A = this chain, B = another copy of it.
Amino acid sequence: MDSNTSRAKRTPLQPLRSAGRQRVEELLAAASDLMAERGYEATTMAEIAARAGAKIGSLYRFFPNKEAVADALVQRHIAILEDEYAALAKRAATLSPEALADILIELLVTLHPRVKSLSALMEARTDKMEIRDRARGHAVAGIAAALRVCAPGLDEALAKDMAAVVLNTMKVLRSMLANDAPTTSGAPDELRRMNRLYLSDRLAPFRRGSDNATDGKTR
């Protein structure tokens, strides 16, 4: 009966049939949407179940408590983000700084919903922050690696600092595209411009054949 670890609150109870696995997917999707919309605290377990088309009992079959739902979401989002950033460096080899800047921007735009949900989850507990920091470290490392592939000879510490800057620039674009701000419709393009300008200026000294560093039109 108590063959499970006695340290867990209860049995985690993972799904064993396809119906259960699908239910878990629906529940997590509903929880992700709701928590991204309203935040962790404001989202109720009953709401999560309702949006997933289930009853609250089903929710508690697969997740011992509300925190476990948040944990599952965090883990899931982190894993996907790590994959994306790990894949980034491989694409960076043949790119100009300007093209790399644009690709980085595009990447975070597509990752937007997931990151937003993640930051909403962080509201919940401080002890999850270290997980977020770990993910951030992966992102920074991935971007820094891409920068150094693009510009060999770039100092590693500087690459990380620059990666942190670019990462946050991407976050900004994300929030610009999220809020519909009618007064600043040209702002996203300005941001891209700033990003290109910055990477172009900082990577120019380290590029191969740096005779024409000011012109970035490689294709």
The interface of chain A, by Cβ under 8 A from chain B, is 38-39, 41-42, 123, 133, 136-137, 140, 157-158, 160-165, 168-169, 171-172, 175-176, 179, 181, 183-187, 189-191, 193-194, 197-198, 201-202
- Distance (Å) between the CB of A184 and the closest chain B CB? 4
On whether the beta carbons of B176 and A194 are closer than 8 Å, the reply is no
On whether the beta carbons of A194 and B165 are closer than 8 Å, the reply is yes
Cβ contacts under 8 Å, A194 to chain B: 165, 169, 194, 197-198
Residue in contact with A162 in the complex, picked from B164, B181, B190, CB distance below 8 Å: B190
Which of A165, A171, A181, A191 has most chain B Cβ within 10 Å? A165
* Chain A interface helix/strand/loop/mixed: helix
Copies of this chain, count = 2
Q: Nearest CB to that of A185 among chain B residues?
A: B161
Per the bound structure, the CA–CA distance linking A217 and B160 in Å amounts to: 27
List 27 A–B pairs whose Cβ atoms lie within 8 Å, in order of A's numbering: A39-B41, A39-B123, A41-B41, A41-B42, A42-B123, A123-B123, A133-B179, A136-B181, A137-B183, A157-B186, A158-B186, A160-B187, A161-B185, A161-B186, A161-B187, A162-B187, A164-B183, A164-B184, A164-B190, A165-B191, A168-B172, A168-B175, A171-B172, A190-B202, A193-B198, A194-B198, A197-B201
